[in-house]
Homo-oligomer: A and B are copies of this chain.
Amino acid sequence: MTLRAVRPPHETRTRILDVAEELFMHHGFEATSMRMLTAAAGVNLAAVNYHFGSKDALVEAVFRRRLDPMNAERLAELDRLEADANGKPLAPQAIIRAFIRTSLKMVGDTRAGGRTFVRLLGRTYTEPAKPIRALIGQLYAPTMERFKAAFMRALPHLPREELFWRMHFMFGTLSYTLAATDTVQLIAGTKPEDRHDARALEERLATFLTAGLLAARGEHTGVKKAA
């Protein structure tokens, strides 16, 4: 038996994906040129077109590589929760945690590129380019439907339309938190090292989101409290 697979079979491919993730995160898709990308990866300029076909196809590959396993993990966790519940509806916060934990786990993971990716992902929900948004929407659709169903079972008395909006808000909070870390620091005060602590961040986010999701309408209206 000769020494096979000592040199990784897809080393160039992988290196391109890693560098693309990093550069897309820091400069965006358009501002990242093939020349700076291939130079940073230490591969030939033509390598991207050879391995992926085009720059757009590379963008898609960058997302698929991580998003497919991420969604699978989320759904697996939801499956586990529902199996344990024996047909009973789940606690809302348990559903929330199942959703956010996968993302937050990657935030703390400074070694692998997961942290870079999840921040890239957070920003991409507001990406202007249509094909990218369509891709993200398509990759997320099945997961979203499952979580929507879980929330509807957990909160049968919340009007559906209100639930959809609150899911929208929750998703927005998560996305922004992922994307904006280390970028805009509009509210000064949060300690940088804190931002990488996935466990603490999950607690903060779960508390905030659960309260928002379960909010009673008209509560704390707070107008005309003065004097």
Q: Which residues of B sit under 8 angstroms from A137, Cβ to Cβ? A: 184-186
Partner of A84, one of B88, B204, B226: B226
Q: How far is the CB of A55 from chain B (nearest CB, A)?
A: 13
Flag if B179 contacts A220 (CB, 8 Å): no
Interface string of A192-217 (1 = CB under 8 A from B): 00100000000111011111111111
Question: What is the total number of residues of chain A having a CB less than 8 Å from a CB of chain B?
Answer: 81
List which A58-72 residues lie within 8 A (CB) of chain B: none
Which A residues contact B (CB, under 8 angstroms)? Answer: 25-28, 30-31, 81, 84-86, 88, 90-94, 97, 122-123, 125-129, 133, 136-137, 140-141, 144, 148, 160-162, 164-169, 171-173, 175-177, 179-180, 183-191, 194, 203-205, 207-223, 225-227
CB within 8 Å for A208 and B128 given contacts A226-B91, A227-B88: no
Complex contact A168–B190 (CB within 8 A): yes
A27, A85, A207, A223: which has the most chain B beta carbons within 10 Å?
A207
